[in-house]
């Protein structure tokens, strides 16, 4: 197909889409795709990615097939195109068979400009053959990071696109995503069979978002969020909470104390209720939504002024995508991360839940043969609860160690799954470590993000983050150095005058004796903010592994400051850090139940066959356990009525009696009881622990 002249694309842009001009980088992408070239587009949410497949699809004529992972996203995009006068339809599991058949006939008759489908649809017998009866103008793969093992939201059905797309005919392919590191970019193109596709990696700089990161204890974060959002100009806002319980409690606190129009959103809510909350937020009926990571993909609200994280996200990709929902209208916006190093344990807990130890997968795989077996029967054989078994089978399926049929029965796959699973598991763990180091970074926050995604657009500092503009922060506070800190700061300057450009670890050993490493890093950060030091990230190879480290050198201003250190150091600004997590942990090591502290402790535990955990603090059959059985049964009945599910779906009798016999006093002990998995701990752990304490206090 001949390349559409640039003036032709500009005319279409105006006539069919109503835009007078292209946004940055759009025109080059549209020209390449219109000419029939394959493309990978990595641009942040709100940068105009959708146009880069919509305009070329219209220019090329015919139907553009759009593969997208979420029904809500499909519905939103199809509706928008229809409202603009395009013939856009969709096929997904939420539609009736009659509606889907009608859409297929419209496609075959050539009556569609755009057809949206989920990747699973290409696995339906005969569907690919139906599509292949007409030549597609273009195939667009949206949320393309889902195809990569290294992506943050991997979907197994995306992995099948490599063999299914070629059967659709010789159409160009454009893959689009808002979050993909260079490693993920490479994998996307390999998996799509388009390794030489044009790459357009642009637009990750968001000049209008001021990023701020503040170390803070868990107990202080909700109050901080309340104070932050009290200012009308900082709403609408999204608050991301690490657990469902916290999302509900913070939403209630905001509504009670600040009288915000606020609601919680998480995957444990009924779908109808979730949809209503999302609708109310999008239409402005709600000012603040407190959500888990279940909220966000496909959300198109341009005027979000603030995004607050109440804990460290699991990866830099997830963090960037979530803060990217602020300020899509281009107006000044704020992203605040409230964190502590206790958050790492929470994320490690989630990691262990999502990526079990390889030995657990080995045990399950050893019980599979070439005959299909029902998962419930398999659970009895391998001594795993169904929740954990489903995670294990999902991982085995992704990596080929198991085959699952349409009835969810499972049989053995190949035995080559181990290496790829272990590699992916380690990659996910490394993403968490990178996110944990991000708040410690001493350079411009936006430059750090831009470089992470391989965007070479610009290296100029943003001028608005807490590193670039410490006097303009909303939550983060600063102070002058103490006498001891001033001595260490002077020692850093002296050491670098004597031997410049050295590893920060060596500098710490030489100068920071007697000081915790994190406090020493804070001093380095103060010197970087003063433009006295330059810190560069680098790495070296050791035993086949890439080991990251940082090197530090003096700037010209730093050399001048070293000549008069006393006066200069007294003017430096150090971050005010809240009560240390370690101090807080010492206060909560006793038997007293402290809800958040107990949940945090549980996150560092791995419930495996080789680990012994204390599960009982009283003999079974005692007066206490009998009374506790009655209390838990009453609570379970009330909860089942509230949720509209049978009581055994809350807790089985066997698990209920085990909890009563053990009398757990913290989440670690509760998690060790057979039948209590991570999901039950998250949903009901606090209530169960409160019941134990209440019964004990009455006896």
> Could you say which DSSP state residue 147 is in?
G
Contacts of 159 (CB under 8 A, 6+ apart): 147, 191, 398
Distance CA 222, CA 239 (A): 10
Distance CA 513, CA 490 (A): 14
Q: State the sign of the Cα–Cα–Cα–Cα dihedral 276, 277, 279, 280.
A: positive
**In angstroms, how far is CA 210 from the centroid of its own chain?**
20
234-272 b/e with 16+ CB inside 10 Å = b?
bbbbbbbbbbbbbbbbbbebbbeeeebbbbbbbebbeee
The reported pLDDT for the residue numbered 667 is 72
The CATH fold assigned to 591-698 is DNA polymerase; domain 1 (1.10.150)
Burial class (CB in 10 A: 0-12, 13-18, 19+), 7: exposed
Q: Quick count: other Cβ atoms within 10 Å of Cβ 521?
A: 18
The reported pLDDT for the residue numbered 627 is 79
> Could you say which DSSP state residue 142 is in?
S
> Could you say which DSSP state residue 464 is in?
-
Q: Which two tokens stand for residue 533?
A: 């030091």
Distance CA 417, CA 399 (A): 5
Counting runs of H as helices and runs of E as strands, what totals does the chain give? 31, 20
Contacts of 191 (CB under 8 A, 6+ apart): 147, 148, 158, 159, 161, 162
| CATH 3.30.70.1400 given to domain 6-201 | no
One DSSP character per residue, 216-269 reads: --HHHHHHHHHHHHTSGGG-SEEEE-SSHHHHHHHHHHIIIII---EEEE-TTS
Distance CA 234, CA 307 (A): 9
Distance CA 653, CA 580 (A): 41
Distance CA 23, CA 7 (A): 16
Distance CA 219, CA 372 (A): 49
Distance CA 64, CA 77 (A): 13
Distance CA 283, CA 301 (A): 9
Q: Which residue has the tokens 């809240």?
A: 578
Rounded (10°) CA dihedral 99, 59, 198, 42: -60
Distance CA 244, CA 249 (A): 9
Distance CA 403, CA 412 (A): 6
478-575: which CATH architecture? Orthogonal Bundle (1.10)
Ranges of CATH 1.10.150.80 domains, the chain = 591-698
Superfamily (CATH H level) for 209-347+444-452: P-loop containing nucleotide triphosphate hydrolases (3.40.50.300)
Q: Quick count: other Cβ atoms within 10 Å of Cβ 627?
A: 17
Distance CA 664, CA 617 (A): 7
Query: Average pLDDT for consecutive 10-residue bins of the chain (699 residues)?
Result: 60 91 91 95 83 95 92 87 94 88 94 93 90 94 85 70 86 90 88 91 85 87 90 92 90 82 88 88 92 68 93 88 88 92 78 89 92 89 87 88 85 90 85 83 84 74 87 82 85 87 86 79 82 79 69 87 76 62 32 29 33 34 69 82 70 85 78 77 78 68
Distance CA 193, CA 680 (A): 42
The pTM for the full model equals 0.64
> Could you say which DSSP state residue 373 is in?
B
Q: Which two tokens stand for residue 697?
A: 């206090």
């Amino acid at each position: 197909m001949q390349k559409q002249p640039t003036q032709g694309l500009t005319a279409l842009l105006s006539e069919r889409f109503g835009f007078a001009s292209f946004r940055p980088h759009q025109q080059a992408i549209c020209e390449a795709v219109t000419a029939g070239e394959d493309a990978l587009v990595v641009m942040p949410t709100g940068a105009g990615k959708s146009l880069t497949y919509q305009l070329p699809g219209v220019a090329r004529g015919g139907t553009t097939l759009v593969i997208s992972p979420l029904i809500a996203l499909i519905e939103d995009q199809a509706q928008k195109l229809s409202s603009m006068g395009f013939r856009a339809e969709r096929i997904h599991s939420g539609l009736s068979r009659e509606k889907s058949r009608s859409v297929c006939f419209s496609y075959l008759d050539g009556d569609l400009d755009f057809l949206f489908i989920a990747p699973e649809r290409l696995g339906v017998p005969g569907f690919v053959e139906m599509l292949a009866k007409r030549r597609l103008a273009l195939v667009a793969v949206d949320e393309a990071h889902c195809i990569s093992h290294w992506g943050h939201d991997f979907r197994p059905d995306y992995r099948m696109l490599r063999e299914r797309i070629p059967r659709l005919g010789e159409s160009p392919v454009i893959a689009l995503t808002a979050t993909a590191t260079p490693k993920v970019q490479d994998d996307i193109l390999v998996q799509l069979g388009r390794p030489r596709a044009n790459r357009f990696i642009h637009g990750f700089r968001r000049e209008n978002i001021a990023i701020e990161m503040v170390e803070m204890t868990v107990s202080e974060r909700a109050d901080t969020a309340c104070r932050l959002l009290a200012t009308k100009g900082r709403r609408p806002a999204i608050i991301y909470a690490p657990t469902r319980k916290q999302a509900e409690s913070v939403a209630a606190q905001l509504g009670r104390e600040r009288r915000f129009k606020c609601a919680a959103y998480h995957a444990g809510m009924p779908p109808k209720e979730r949809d209503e909350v999302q609708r109310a937020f999008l239409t402005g009926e709600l000012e603040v939504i407190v959500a888990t990571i279940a909220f966000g993909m496909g959300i198109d609200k341009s005027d979000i002024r603030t995004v607050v994280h109440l804990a460290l996200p699991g990866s830099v990709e997830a963090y960037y995508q979530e803060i990217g929902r602020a300020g899509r209208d281009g107006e000044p916006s704020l992203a605040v991360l409230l964190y502590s190093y206790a958050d790492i344990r929470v994320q490690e807990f989630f990691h262990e839940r999502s990526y079990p130890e390889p030995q657990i997968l080995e045990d399950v795989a050893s019980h599979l043969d070439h005959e299909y077996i029902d998962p419930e029967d398999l659970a009895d054989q391998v001594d795993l609860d169904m929740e954990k078994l489903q995670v294990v089978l999902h991982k085995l399926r992704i990596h080929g160690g198991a085959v699952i049929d349409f009835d969810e029965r499972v049989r053995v796959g190949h035995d080559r799954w181990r290496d790829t699973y272990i590699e992916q598991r380690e990659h996910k763990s490394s993403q968490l470590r990178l996110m944990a180091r991000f708040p410690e970074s001493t350079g411009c926050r936006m430059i750090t993000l831009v470089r992470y995604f391989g965007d070479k657009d610009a290296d100029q500092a943003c001028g608005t983050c807490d590193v670039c503009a410490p006097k303009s922060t909303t939550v983060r506070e600063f102070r002058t150095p103490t006498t001891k800190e001033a001595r260490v700061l002077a020692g850093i300057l002296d050491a670098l005058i004597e031997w410049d450009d050295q590893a920060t670890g060596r500098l710490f050993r030489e100068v920071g004796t007697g000081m915790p490493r994190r406090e020493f890093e804070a001093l380095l950060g103060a010197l970087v903010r003063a433009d006295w030091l330059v810190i560069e990230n680098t790495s070296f190879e050791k035993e086949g592994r890439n080991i990251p480290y940082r090197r530090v050198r003096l700037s010209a201003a730093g050399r001048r400051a070293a000549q008069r250190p006393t006066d200069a150091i007294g003017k430096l600004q150090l971050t005010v850090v809240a009560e240390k997590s370690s101090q807080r942990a010492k206060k909560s090591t006793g038997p007293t139940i402290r809800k958040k502290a107990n949940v945090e402790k549980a996150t560092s535990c791995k419930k495996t066959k080789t680990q012994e955990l204390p599960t009982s603090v009283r003999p079974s059959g005692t007066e206490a356990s009998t009374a506790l059985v009655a209390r838990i049964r009453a609570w379970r009945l009330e909860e089942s009525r509230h949720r509209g599910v049978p009581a055994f779906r809350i807790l089985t009798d066997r698990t209920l009696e085990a909890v009563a016999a053990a009398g757990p006093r913290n989440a670690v002990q509760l998690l060790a009881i057979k039948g209590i998995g991570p999901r039950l701990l998250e949903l009901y752990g606090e209530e169960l622990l409160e019941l134990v304490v209440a019964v004990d206090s009455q006896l």
